[in-house]
Amino acid sequence: MKLREVKELLNADVIAGEEKLDMEVKTAFGADLMSDVLAFAKAGSMLLTGLTNTQVVRIANVLDIAAIIIVRGKKLPAETVELAKELHIPVLSTKFILFETAGRLYAQGIVGCLEKVEK
Amino acid sequence: MDIAAIAKELNLEIRSARDRLENIVTGGYTGDLLSDVMANSHAGDIWITRQVHQNIVAIATLKEHAGIILVNSCEPAKDTLERAKQENVPILVSRLGAFELTGKIYNLLAKDK
Amino acid sequence: MCAAENILEKHSFDIEGGNFSNAGTVSTKIKSILKQKNLPDDVVRRSAIVCYEAEINIVSYAKKGVISLTIRPNSVQIEADDEGPGIPNIELAMQQGYSTANQQIREMGFGAGMGLHNIKTYSDIFDISSEVDKGTFLKMTIHTQPAKD
């Protein structure tokens, strides 16, 4: 599905990356713990999170995350928005909680991504 | 829909409070930040998280959650399990990640309505 | 040792302890350096991840530190050398879920006790040494050629 459709499905605001709304997305990862994102999220997925600090954008960049979906309608600090624009990472913000956000996306065929790394 | 039905449908493993599996699940909350869960979840929610320390039992008790499901095959810490048994809070374990488990439970609850 | 003459490129970056607003900038820089070398995506990504975790550790716990990147024909090496409290029990610190992070660090989504574990899983070779009240030294090597297995 296209990021534009994700935006509609979640009644989301586009905070950064308006130019990337035609991007195709297939997988998502939901977490509030950055170390889990680093441990398990696959490149090319959407990251659904309630965290809004600049580290979310840094991590998205490090991991080649396709887009960040901020849940619970949390306001983003200006420096987070700025960094997302600078690094060209699309950020959407939805009022829905993570449960609803993940539920809606899953119902539309987005699948989870879990990259299990062998010890 | 009760916890037992969700557990059966999604192959969840039960770690505590087997006698409370008839708790009715009216909604769900997915999250790992305890302050957020404390502030925003509701009574009757099934709480989906990867946090395993014993504070999760206190939060689930205070917020009257139907139960807790740990994702990614995370196991409750020993003192968490003891506390859950004492407080009679069901803790279940899923092999799925938070996104996928949430998606499946969301759909089950939607069908049930 | 004998690999010294094979160094294609070396970069060093200073990191300031406690400065969360700058945390991650070094990893972002290192990632873009590696990307320009046309290394496989997976190598770039794993290098960026281990670098990021090491950087967050320095910012979270140390007074200051240096992260250096060494590119050789067959490997990328990242070293993180800090001045800080050190790690009294490395074995314990390596365990998933073990963390000494304070509330501020946890509220930012860190301190879940995954950092060193992540570094180890994403590196091909991982060395760690530490001295209490002095600092911690990490060395991560990622092969740029496909592994033989």
**Total structural domains within chain B:** 1
Residue A52, min C-alpha distance to chain B (Å): 13
Q: How confident is the model at residue B76 (pLDDT cuts 50, 70, 90)?
A: very high
CATH number at residue A36: 3.40.1390.20
**Total structural domains within chain A:** 1
In whole angstroms, give the CA distance from residue B89 to residue B81: 9
pLDDT score for C104 = 81
User: Phi-psi category of C111—alpha, beta or left, where left has phi over 0 and alpha has psi -120 to 50?
Assistant: left
Centre a 10 Å sphere on the Cβ of residue A109 and count the other Cβ atoms it contains: 9
Cα Rg of chain B, angstroms: 12
Name the residue in chain C with its Cα closest to that of B50: C112
* CATH homologous superfamily, domain C8-143: Histidine kinase-like ATPase, C-terminal domain (3.30.565.10)
pLDDT score for C110 = 85
Asked if residue A85 is part of any domain, the answer here is: yes
B35 contacts on C by Cβ (under 8 Å): 107
Residue A107, min C-alpha distance to chain C (Å): 27
pLDDT score for B40 = 93
Measured between CB atoms, which of C97, C107, C109 is closest to B52? C97
* Model pLDDT for residues C52-105, shown as the tens digit of each residue: 999 999 999 999 999 999 999 999 999 999 999 999 999 999 988 788 888 888
Domain that holds residue A15: 3-112
In whole angstroms, give the CA distance from residue B81 to residue B62: 17
Angle at C50 between CA C49 and CA C51, to 5 degrees: 90
A31 contacts on B by Cβ (under 8 Å): 32, 50, 98
pTM above 0.90, yes or no: no
Name the residue in chain B with its Cα closest to that of C113: B51
Q: Which helix (H) or strand (E) holds C66?
A: strand C64-72
Average pLDDT, chain C: 90
CB pairs under 8 A between B and C: 6
Q: Where are the domains of chain C?
A: 8-143
* Model pLDDT for residues B11-55, shown as the tens digit of each residue: 999 999 999 999 999 999 999 988 889 989 999 999 999 998 888
Asked if residue A118 is part of any domain, the answer here is: no
Determine the 3-state secondary structure of B17 from DSSP: coil
Name the residue in chain C with its Cα closest to that of B32: C109
In whole angstroms, give the CA distance from residue B83 to residue B62: 13
Q: Is B52 on the interface with A (CB under 8 A)?
A: no
Mean pLDDT of the region A57-72: 95
Cα-Cα end-to-end distance for chain C: 26
Q: Is the ipTM of this complex over 0.90?
A: yes
Measured between CB atoms, which of A51, A102, A107 is closest to B30? A102
